[in-house]
Amino acid sequence: MSKSALIFICLAGGLIAFGVIYDAFDYFWGYGWAVDELRTILQLIIVDDDSWWPMYNAANVRLYGDGIYQTVFFEDGMKFQYPPLSILPFVIFIKIGMGWETIREFMNFISFVSILSIIGSVYYLIISVFKKFTSIENFDWKYKISFILIAIVGTFGFDAIVKAQYLGQIQVILDLCICLAFLLFLTNKKYLAGACLALAALVKPQITLLLVWAIIRKEKEVIVGMIAIFVPAGVISLYGFGFLEHVHYLESLSQMGKHGEAYWPNQSINGLLHRLISDVDPLKFPVNSYAPYNPIVYGFTIVTTVMLILLGLFCRPESGHTKAQGKTPISSSFDMATMLLLVTMASPIAWYHHYGILWPIFIAAFVVIAWQLYQRRDLLTVATAILFSLSFLLLSNRFPVLTKEQFASSPINLVQSYYLFGAFLMLAALFMLRRNLVVKSDVD
């Protein structure tokens, strides 16, 4: 146990330490964005309201009796991409007399508390995954301190989470929901895991595909947990906002999917293709418009979206092995993690802060890899460790130099999709890890 824990500390801690050293170097001799943004969020300073202002504005429009999406999205050109029910808290805030400044400070505080909750969840996740492979119930204090430091420094060093908080993004709260869902699923509290997934899906509809995944995988508890949230939420949404508002929401989703975004933080295949073949500046964010319609980009986006989703639903590297028909509790957890990664990658618009959901998955993977390296250092395990490490370095750090003018032209602007490339590396690593888990179970 102590040796596998030491391998984990060296592996995860070493990668996190590299990020800290890189950010320090960038602060003194580069751009210093990561350190400046971290310092800002630690002081609870509000810089942007990327989610809060559109949601507040949409709630005001609703209270005035106007159509949310017709007014906010189509007429005003505001990039409000959330379902109707997502603004219900803001409607309540306004109704009870809370002003805009109070609301934004409250949401900023809730978002920061979510980061602290992620830290606690990641620490408990490390302990839980180790317990899946060993009979140890209590850990030496030296290991506990190391685990706590990894959870704290790693969370505040994971760029997607820090950036989401800095932007005033609801994504941080969604990161917590996904982190809890992954932890609860792994610890066999699957009803609650399903509920957490459903709560995230109320804001990010693509996560609803996890219900399809659960049906195919016959995860009955997850199905029940998700439906237990979806049914009352659907009734409240239809009653409170009306059927037509939901139709308009689907129209806005269609508009976003048809056009996409060329701005470099859109780390999707749609964004990569726009930057590669469209005549659009990837360094400028169009506040009130999307990328121009390109039939080639749109066609490839549809095809790759379907392919990625089908890959998550039906590709099972565990198949064909004897251990519980190729399933173990930990491999099933990474199966769900794979689907979460793929629904993120498959979206036409996947901002880099959307990849914050991957932080707890990385940590769980590093624990498993550490145990596997301790047991037997075969080629598959070493290759999996390398892929996860490379992916982590790409997804947890920011490389400001790649967002400068000299990298804006095609085809060199491919390097601006480094988050997406990191996601593909992680996808390959997850499939290899899942395969390795059941192979080792058969051998053992």
Distance in angstroms (rounded) separating the CA atoms of residues 1 and 5: 6
Q: Which of the pair, 230 or 376, is modelled with greater confidence?
A: 230
Distance in angstroms (rounded) separating the CA atoms of residues 202 and 195: 11
Length of the chain: 444
CB atoms within 10 A of CB 377: 10
Q: How confident is the model at residue 320 (pLDDT cuts 50, 70, 90)?
A: low
Q: For residue 440, what pLDDT is reported?
A: 59
Distance in angstroms (rounded) separating the CA atoms of residues 81 and 283: 22
Q: Is 266 helix (H, G, I), strand (E, B) or coil?
A: strand
How far the first Cα of the chain sits from its last, in Å, is 17
| Average of per-residue pLDDT across 431-438 | 91
Q: For residue 279, what pLDDT is reported?
A: 87
The CA–CA distances, whole Å, from 160 to 146, 243, 284, 353, 395 equal 23, 35, 20, 4, 8
Q: What is the DSSP letter of 423?
A: H
Q: For residue 321, what pLDDT is reported?
A: 56
Residue 332 has pLDDT above 90, yes or no: yes
Q: For residue 396, what pLDDT is reported?
A: 97
- For 351, phi and psi rounded to 5 degrees? -60, 150
Distance in angstroms (rounded) separating the CA atoms of residues 357 and 443: 32
Q: Is 351 helix (H, G, I), strand (E, B) or coil?
A: strand
Q: How confident is the model at residue 376 (pLDDT cuts 50, 70, 90)?
A: confident
Q: For residue 3, what pLDDT is reported?
A: 87
Q: For residue 173, what pLDDT is reported?
A: 98
Q: Which of the pair, 273 or 141, is modelled with greater confidence?
A: 273
Q: For residue 325, what pLDDT is reported?
A: 42
Cβ atoms of 374 and 4 closer than 8 Å: yes
- For 266, phi and psi rounded to 5 degrees? -75, 95
Residue 318 has pLDDT above 80, yes or no: no
Q: Among residues 209, 186, 164, which one has the least CA distance to residue 357?
A: 164
Distance in angstroms (rounded) separating the CA atoms of residues 375 and 4: 8
Q: Is 292 helix (H, G, I), strand (E, B) or coil?
A: coil
Least confident of 125-134, 185-194, 229-238: 125-134
| Average of per-residue pLDDT across 14-42 | 95
Q: For residue 109, what pLDDT is reported?
A: 97
Q: For residue 133, what pLDDT is reported?
A: 75
Structure confidence by residue, pLDDT tens digits, 81-126: 999 999 999 999 999 999 999 999 999 999 999 999 999 999 999 9
- Cα dihedral 118, 122, 124, 128, rounded to 10, equals 140
Distance in angstroms (rounded) separating the CA atoms of residues 270 and 355: 16
Cβ atoms of 259 and 292 closer than 8 Å: yes
Q: What is the DSSP letter of 263?
A: S
Is the previous residue joined to 360 through a cis bond, with omega within 30 degrees of 0? no
Q: What is the mean pLDDT of the chain?
A: 93
Q: Which two tokens stand for residue 198?
A: 């459903």
Cβ atoms of 273 and 416 closer than 8 Å: no
| Average of per-residue pLDDT across 306-322 | 85
